[in-house]
Amino acid sequence: MKLFYSPVSPYVRKCLVAAHELGLAERIERLPEAARPLNRLTQNPLGKVPTLLADDGTVLYDSRVIVEYLNALAGGALIPIGGPERFAVLVEHALADGILDAAILVRYETAVRPEPLRWNDWTAGQMEKIHRGLADLESRSTTLGERVDVATITFGCALDYLDFRFAAIGWRDKHPRTAEWFARFSERPSMVATRPHA
């Protein structure tokens, strides 16, 4: 398999952490791609990473679909098959993705958009989503325990992304239980092997 990837993309990292957890990491060749709005990645009309080329030539995106694919390929248990646990994990996955979506939009707004076109209220609104998302995560954090699934993987990638790009918000101060969980989770070999570097 080939993965169009950026070493700093948290969505790419989600897929790579999943691949490590599923024992598939060695089967994925990484093809570096500069991921920024206005880029052209011809294999994906949305121009985004991660995009996976499966061995049979199938093109898969986005990260949610790629994790689902890898999990099915390995016969893994990263996504519960049914029952209330399935929807609990899917909602948590959406929460983690939503924190990331807001963070990435703020990153583009502040690092890519030309200064005269920036809109501070809009940026503040995205930051509010991050803070409300973190508060929701804190209220759930005692249920995370030693779970390794698509939700906990994405929470781990989102929190590390906040440390990487938004260290100034100091999220640990208001979210001690999440911080405690993250300290353990981020030492997993899959997380260590995929740490972001600029």
Ligand X SMILES: N[C@@H](CCC(=O)N[C@@H](CS)C(=O)NCC(=O)O)C(=O)O
Which residues contact ligand X by CB under 6 A?
6, 9, 11, 35-37, 39, 47-50, 62-64, 104
Q: Which is nearer to ligand X, 82 or 114 (CB)?
A: 114
Give the whole-angstrom CA distance, residue 64 versus residue 69: 9
* Rg of the chain in Å (alpha carbons): 17
- Give me the least distance between CB of 142 and ligand X, in Å please: 27
Give the whole-angstrom CA distance, residue 27 versus residue 39: 27
Residue-wise DSSP of 69-93: HHHHHHT--SS--SHHHHHHHHHHH
User: Each residue of 47-76: b (16+ CB within 10 Å) or e?
Assistant: bbbbbbbeeeeeebbbbbebbebbbeebeb
DSSP state, 113? S
Q: Which is nearer to ligand X, 161 or 182 (CB)?
A: 161
Strands (E), the chain: 2-5, 29-32, 51-53, 59-60
- Give me the least distance between CB of 129 and ligand X, in Å please: 15
Q: Which is nearer to ligand X, 20 or 174 (CB)?
A: 20
- Give me the least distance between CB of 141 and ligand X, in Å please: 23
Q: Which is nearer to ligand X, 49 or 144 (CB)?
A: 49
Q: Which of 16, 143, 167 is nearest to 92 (CA)?
A: 143
Residue with tokens 């890898």: 70
Q: Which is nearer to ligand X, 7 or 80 (CB)?
A: 7
- Give me the least distance between CB of 111 and ligand X, in Å please: 12
- Give me the least distance between CB of 14 and ligand X, in Å please: 7
Q: Which is nearer to ligand X, 161 or 171 (CB)?
A: 161
- Give me the least distance between CB of 51 and ligand X, in Å please: 8
